[in-house]
Amino acid sequence: MNKKLWFFILLLMPLLSLGCGYHFSPGGEHIDENIRTVFVENFKNKTSEANIENYIRNALINAFRKRSRFDLANSKETSDAYISGSVNRSDISHLSYTSTDVAKEDEMNLILEITFKKTSNNEIIWTNNNFRGKEAFLVNSDPNRTERNRKNALKKLADDMAERAYRNIMSGF
């Protein structure tokens, strides 16, 4: 190789070692290591959708259960931290129509309020008062099938939102 190329490479090496500044967020290192147990409280339901709060709570429990960072506590009193919140809004809107203007696909939208706090002093570790999610589902001429599709969409939406909430809590977003 010629000397100019070597000089150019040597000049670039310090710049390359500095990197671009992009890095992965920590995996919960910002959360006090003494927080080992978490309790998920019952969520408040401020919507007309019956039992929607149970879908959310169960999905959050499953999201925490799948990982090894925390153990689930049986009560708030026996936990190091807890999650509380409410389902503030649930609505369905049409996404697409047939050629005869009949809905063929709907979308469920949820807005949650979620807070993760230390049990000992109620210090907020993470909170989001406008946590949004949406999931599409097919509308069928059979109302029973449409209702099954809607329930499946609600379960998937709850699971997806719980996973996203867990990641946000752990990353500090």
Q: How confident is the model at residue 99 (pLDDT cuts 50, 70, 90)?
A: confident
Assess contact for 39 and 79: CB atoms under 8 A.
yes
Tokens 């040597």 -> residue: 10
Rounded CA-CA distance 170/69 in Å is 10
Structure tokens at 41: 């409280």
pLDDT of residue 171 exceeding 90, the answer is no
Give the three-class secondary structure for 137: strand
Rounded CA-CA distance 31/70 in Å is 11
At 18-45, the pLDDT tens digits run 544 444 444 445 788 899 999 999 999 9
At 107-149, the pLDDT tens digits run 999 999 999 999 999 999 999 999 999 999 999 999 999 999 9
pLDDT of residue 151 exceeding 80, the answer is yes
DSSP 91: E
DSSP 28: S
Residue 102, pLDDT score: 84
Residue 161, pLDDT score: 97
Rounded CA-CA distance 145/121 in Å is 48
Q: Chain-centre distance of CA 58, in angstroms? A: 13
pLDDT of residue 3 exceeding 80, the answer is no
* C-alpha dihedral sign at 36, 61, 165, 23: positive
In order of their start, the domains of the chain are 33-171 (3.30.160.150)
Q: Which residues contact 157 (CB under 8 A, 6 or more apart)?
A: 108, 110, 133, 134, 135
Closest CA to 108 of 132, 141, 143: 132
- From the CB of residue 86, how many other CB atoms can be counted at a distance below 10 Å? 19
At 116-125, the pLDDT tens digits run 999 999 999 9
Q: Chain-centre distance of CA 29, in angstroms? A: 18
pLDDT of residue 49 exceeding 50, the answer is yes
Question: Whole-number mean pLDDT of the chain?
Answer: 87
